[in-house]
């Protein structure tokens, strides 16, 4: 009896040894700085560089004071547009490609799957710059491709025009990331039990109607996960816009999203000095937006979808 108890107590030490390295690194490098950043948003320095507790004053400045508010609401609005474009373009294309790939005994499936995922592997820097070159009127690749199908009149320097830059950047991001929803949904489609499909076939539900009536409802939980991943990724995006449009997210801030706004505020740009406290305030707002999105998913969407899981 006492032997077992001793053995048990010894085992408890192993648990700590196994857990501590991960917990220490994770807590020290991720959780503590995150908490510090959230905390910093409640402080500000005055002209003498003394730091004061200012409560929610920074948030008031960000939301209301004209110098900040105009940029903040612009970035937030652009970020929602960026997200919406991903939801209406990236995810349907991802679902469509996954549906096609999951057709049984499709020749060349491995080739297509590999090809579709190539852009996802590339860094934003490469993708941003490559597309900047491809869409550049100087090089003229895009006009000559459009010319080949008699659509040359469509061409405009899309990345350089205020009206189209945000949509163009979002579509470049869609091009890059469509591989992720495709893979996740493809995996979900493969996971549907054969019995379900066979039962549908017995009832004469085949082809496209089988997809809409049987498979799509069954993969809704995966579409939920894809949506929340898209949300988190988009509200945390920075690299692509920084590489394609620069820190000023031009032209005239038309591609500015929260990530680039945070970077400019934190580090300063041109003549404006960096402001750690306002930077922390923006990071805090981003934190709560992402948290709200994740909670909405967990409590509203995922709960209702449980019943579909096998």
Partner 1 sequence: MRPARSSPARTGLVHLALIVWTIVALSPVILILMNSFKSRAGIFREPLMPPTGSTFSMIGYQTVLGEGHFIRYFGNSLIVTLVSIFFVLLFGAMAAFALSEYRFRLNTALGLFLALGIMIPIRLGTIGILQMMAASGLVDTHLALILVYTAQGIPLAVFILAEFMQQVSADLKNAARIDGLSEYTIFFRLVLPLVRPAMATVAVFTMIPIWNDLWFPLILAPGESTRTVTLGAQLFLGQFVTNWNAVLSALSLAILPVLILYFIFSRQLIRGITAGAVK
Q: What does the alpha-carbon distance between residue 287 and residue 160 come to, in Å, rounded to a whole number?
A: 31
Regarding 206 and contact with partner 1 (CB under 8 A), the answer is: yes
Which 208-237 residues touch partner 1, going by CB under 8 A?
210, 222, 228, 232, 236
Tell me whether residue 63 or residue 287 sits nearer to partner 1 (CB atom).
287
Taking the chain, what is the end-to-end CA distance rounded to the nearest angstrom? 42
| Residue 97 in the binding site for partner 1 (CB under 8 A) | yes
What part of residues 53-92 is at the interface with partner 1 (CB under 8 A)? none
Compute the distance between CA of residue 136 and CA of residue 113 in angstroms, rounded to an integer. 30
Site for partner 1 in 284-303 (CB under 8 A): 286-287, 290-291, 294
Positive or negative, the Cα torsion across 12, 15, 17, 20?
Answer: negative
Considering only residues 247-286, where is the footprint of partner 1 by CB under 8 A?
Answer: 259, 266-267, 276, 279-280, 283, 286
Report whether 256 contacts 202 (CB < 8 A): no
Q: How many CA atoms lie within 13 A of 270 on its CB side?
A: 3
Residue of 64, 134, 154, 292 that binds partner 1 (CB under 8 A): 134
Query: Is the CB of residue 200 less than 8 Å from the CB of residue 278?
Result: no
Burial, 2: exposed, middle or buried (Cβ in 10 Å; 0-12, 13-18, 19+)?
exposed
Query: Looking at 55, 73, 154, 191, which residue binds partner 1 (CB under 8 A)?
Result: 191
Query: C-beta of 161: minimal distance to partner 1 in Å?
Result: 19
* Residue span binding partner 1 (CB under 8 A) among the ranges 141-149, 152-160, 161-169, 249-257: 141-149
- Considering only residues 19 through 58, tell me which ones interact with partner 1, judged by CB under 8 A: 19, 21-23, 25-26, 28-37, 40
Piece of 49-57, 61-69, 75-83, 110-118 that binds partner 1 (CB under 8 A):
110-118
* Span interacting with partner 1, options 66-74, 100-108, 151-159, 300-308, rule CB under 8 A: 100-108
Q: Which is nearer to partner 1, 84 or 125 (CB)?
A: 125
- Specify the residue, 45 or 163, whose C-beta has the smaller distance to partner 1: 45
Spell out where the chain has E strands: 43-45, 51-53, 268-269, 272-273
Least CB distance from residue 83 to partner 1, whole Å?
15
d(CA 135, CA 155): 9
The contacts of residue 204 (CB under 8 Å, 6+ apart) are none
**Minimum CB–partner distance for residue 74 and partner 1 (Å):** 20
CB of 298 to partner 1, least distance (A): 9
For the chain, the helix, strand and coil percentages under 3-state DSSP, each to the nearest 5: 75, 5, 20
């Amino acid at each position: 009896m006492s032997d077992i108890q001793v053995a048990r107590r010894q085992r408890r030490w192993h648990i700590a040894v196994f857990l501590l390295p991960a917990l220490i690194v994770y807590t020290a490098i991720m959780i503590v700085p995150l908490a510090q950043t959230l905390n910093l948003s409640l402080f500000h320095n005055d002209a003498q560089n003394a730091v004061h507790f200012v409560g929610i004053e920074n948030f008031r400045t960000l939301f209301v004071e004209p110098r900040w508010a105009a940029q903040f609401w612009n970035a937030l609005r652009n970020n929602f547009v960026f997200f919406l474009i991903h939801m209406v373009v990236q995810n349907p294309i991802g679902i469509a490609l996954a549906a096609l790939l999951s057709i049984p005994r499709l020749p060349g499936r491995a080739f297509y799957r590999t090809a579709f995922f190539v852009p996802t592997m590339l860094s934003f820097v490469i993708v941003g710059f490559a597309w900047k070159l491809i869409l550049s009127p100087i090089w003229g690749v895009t006009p000559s491709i459009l010319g080949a199908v008699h659509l040359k009149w469509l061409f405009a320097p899309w990345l350089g025009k205020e009206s189209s830059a945000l949509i163009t950047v979002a579509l470049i991001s869609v091009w890059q990331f469509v591989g992720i929803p495709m893979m996740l949904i493809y995996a979900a489609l493969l996971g549907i039990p054969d019995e379900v499909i066979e039962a549908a076939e017995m009832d004469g539900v085949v082809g496209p109607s089988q997809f809409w009536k049987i498979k799509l409802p069954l993969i809704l939980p995966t579409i939920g996960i894809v949506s929340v991943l898209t949300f988190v990724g988009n509200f945390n995006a920075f690299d692509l816009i920084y590489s394609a449009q620069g820190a000023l997210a031009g032209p005239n801030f038309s591609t500015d999203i929260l990530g680039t706004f945070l970077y400019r505020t934190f580090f300063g740009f041109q003549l404006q000095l960096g402001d750690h406290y306002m930077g922390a305030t923006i990071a805090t707002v981003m934190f709560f937006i992402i948290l709200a999105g994740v909670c909405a998913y967990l409590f509203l969407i995922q709960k209702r979808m449980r019943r579909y899981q096998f």
